[in-house]
Amino acid sequence: MFPGIGGEEIRGLSGAIVVRRVLWVKGKIVKNIGVVVNGALGRMGQEVTRAVAREAELKLVGAVDKEVFQQSLPLADVSYIVPLSDDIDSLLEQCAPDVLVDFTNAEVCLATARIAAKRHINLVIGTTGIAEESVAEIAEMCRTYKIGAMIAPNFSLGAALLIHLSQIAARFFDCAEILEMHHNRKIDAPSGTSIATAKAMLQAHGKPFTYPDLGEEVVRGTRGGQLGGIAIHSQRLPGFMAGQEVVFSEMGETLKLRHEAISRECYMPGVVLAIKEVVKHQELIYGLDALLALE
């Protein structure tokens, strides 16, 4: 058993003694929600570990990363040892968390979800670029293993509200474009948030948006990509963290909705909320807005 983790001792799948915290979750008493963070040494992973460590109802019981040079995670906010490993299966066996949080990449995330689901561990996934068939597979995992999973392209409360407001506006405008801005280290374009926004707008609009015909695109790609008549433009510059602007237009007027993430701290209230809520479900929940009771 790893030192410094308090709680009720139980035996893991291999017979090793592990520790569970003990709150009411799925009809059982649990004390704190035990959390393991995958990709803990990455930019988002570090932010998540700090947020979990600060939250009274949560307990950071383990961390995983692909490059590990020590056996514990150094954190100023905790007085106990947080095990750190590059072996996800072994760590989950020893720590027995209630929730696995993953902000890695689409390929790693799916492989990790398969391992965690078999151990009946709930999932909170903030990885972007997850294919629809992978989302469907995770939903099937929830049904098979009776766990909850939360997938959100963006855990910012402001971004969730922007998507919601864009859905409302989409009912009244026939023309719309999306400009999304991210730092230059983001590997995919357009962002998962912009795709989710466009899909939500199309659902509310009930038909494709009007996309103006061009006589000629002098510089290829100037009009960006297109999803259902919505042009999506991606900016990748070192001065950005993350942001999105949705522009609606009709004859004689425009409506602009804009959100900017100034630091990664903005995602943490959404991540913490997702961790606390996912243990109450045995299904896939997609999008942070599903937890915000937006109308």
- Interval 179-196 mean pLDDT: 91
Work out the pLDDT band at 140, boundaries 50, 70, 90.
very high
Under the banding of pLDDT at 50, 70 and 90, the label for residue 2 is very low
Q: Region 85-96: what's the mean pLDDT?
A: 94
Give Cα 59 to chain centroid, integer Å: 19
Choice among 56-60, 127-131, 197-201, 232-236 with the minimum mean pLDDT: 127-131
> How wide is the angle at C-alpha 166 spanned by C-alphas 160 and 171, nearest 5°?
140
Of residues 24 and 142, more confidence is placed in: 142
Please tell me the predicted confidence (pLDDT) of residue 30. Answer: 52
Query: Residue holding tokens 């629809």?
Result: 132
pLDDT of residue 163: 94
Q: Which of the four pLDDT bands, split at 50, 70 and 90, describes residue 27?
A: low
134, 283, 272, 168 alpha-carbon torsion, rounded to 10°: 80
The reported pLDDT for the residue numbered 247 is 98
Map out the domains of the chain as residue ranges.
8-151+265-291, 157-262
Separation in Å, CA 125 to CA 35, 42, 86, 94, 206: 13, 15, 19, 21, 29
Angle between helices 106-118 and 132-145 (to 10 degrees): 10
pLDDT band at 216 (very low <50, low <70, confident <90, very high): confident
Mean pLDDT, residues 257-268: 93
| pLDDT of the residue at 199 | 95
User: Which residue blocks in the chain are alpha helix, DSSP H?
Assistant: 43-54, 88-95, 106-118, 132-145, 157-170, 192-205, 268-278
pLDDT at residue 295, rounded to an integer:
72
pLDDT band at 13 (very low <50, low <70, confident <90, very high): very low
- Name the 3-class secondary structure at 99: strand
Residue 21 has pLDDT above 60, yes or no: no
For the stretch 47-90, pLDDT in tens is 999 999 999 999 999 999 998 888 888 777 677 889 999 999 99
- 157-262 CATH: 3.30.360.10
Q: Give the residue numbers annotated as catalytic, written as ranges.
A: 182, 186
Give yes or no for a contact between 102 and 24, defined as CB atoms under 8 angstroms apart.
Answer: no
pLDDT band at 17 (very low <50, low <70, confident <90, very high): very low
Mean pLDDT for 10-30 is 44
- Please state the rounded mean pLDDT for residues 5-17: 39
Q: Stretch 168-185: mean pLDDT, rounded? A: 96
User: What is 8-151+265-291's CATH topology?
Assistant: Rossmann fold (3.40.50)
Over residues 269-293, the pLDDT tens digits come to 999 999 999 999 999 999 998 999 8
Q: What percent of the chain has pLDDT over 90?
A: 68
Tell the residue number behind the tokens 């950071």, with chain if given.
60
CB 123 within 8 A of CB 145: no
